[in-house]
Amino acid sequence: EAMAAGQNVILSTGTGSGKTEAFMLPIIDHCLRLRDQGAPDGVVAVLVYPMNALANDQLDRLRMTLAGTRITFGRYTGETPDHFDENEHRYSAPVTYTSAQRDAYKAGKVRFGSEGLPYPWEEAVDKESIRAMRPRILLTNYAQLEYLLLRDRDLDLFRGAPLRFLVFDEVHTYTGALGSEVACLIRRLRDVARKRADEVIMIGTSATVSE
């Protein structure tokens, strides 16, 4: 409710208690409204994770959640390939996964890509398609976000983007010199997107920060 009202939020609660859902629901709701309005493409939410493993976990959730919705997303980390592997599989149109596919994935019987489940149409799987699609939701880490804001070929992701949400997972890790660098990074991102501070909702999550 606070995010829907445009307020900056710190989510501090135990592991597995719903932090991801708390910020993803307002983000997805906003993206659905833009989709229904026929709004132009562009990055709406940047989700920054301190470790690639956390970004990968979120990526799998988004694949299941957003398949068939026409809400685009992508992961830009050091693990993201430059070009799409022709041996991989991706749906050519928005398609939801069947119950059987979901059950098989949850049971660990199939994986995404060449090993069973096609990637959803909504996913920008490689760096090339991320630049072309300018996905609504972008998963990354602070180091890769720094690179994106340095290279001219990547700046179009954020130039004039309809940026509305900026999420930092494990926000307690950004202290000292790193915290100062990330604060400057946030200002640079807003500047490239031509957004005032009050136009971007800042969200920090942590299972460590106490009240």
Report pLDDT for 211: 53
Task: Report residue 15's pLDDT band, with 50, 70 and 90 as the boundaries.
Answer: confident
Q: Which residue carries 């990354």 as its tokens? A: 140
- The DSSP call for residue 90 is B
Query: Each residue of 175-206: pLDDT tens digit?
Result: 899 999 999 999 999 999 999 999 999 999 98
Query: Each residue of 22-71: pLDDT tens digit?
Result: 999 999 999 999 999 999 999 999 999 988 888 888 999 999 999 999 99
- The DSSP call for residue 15 is T
Question: What is the DSSP secondary-structure string of 157-183?
Answer: TTTT----EEEETTGGG--HHHHHHHH
First-to-last alpha carbon distance for the chain, in angstroms, is 20
Query: Each residue of 101-156: pLDDT tens digit?
Result: 999 998 988 888 766 889 999 999 999 999 999 999 999 999 999 999 998 889 99
Q: Do strands 165-168 and 137-140 pair parallel, antiparallel, or not at all (unpaired)?
A: unpaired
Question: What is the DSSP secondary-structure string of 47-84?
Answer: EE-SSHHHHHHHHHHHHHHHTTTT--EEEESTTS-SS-
The least confident of 4-13, 78-87, 172-181, 186-195 is 78-87
* Token output for 57: 């976990």
* Token output for 128: 């090339």
Report pLDDT for 209: 67
pTM comes to 0.93
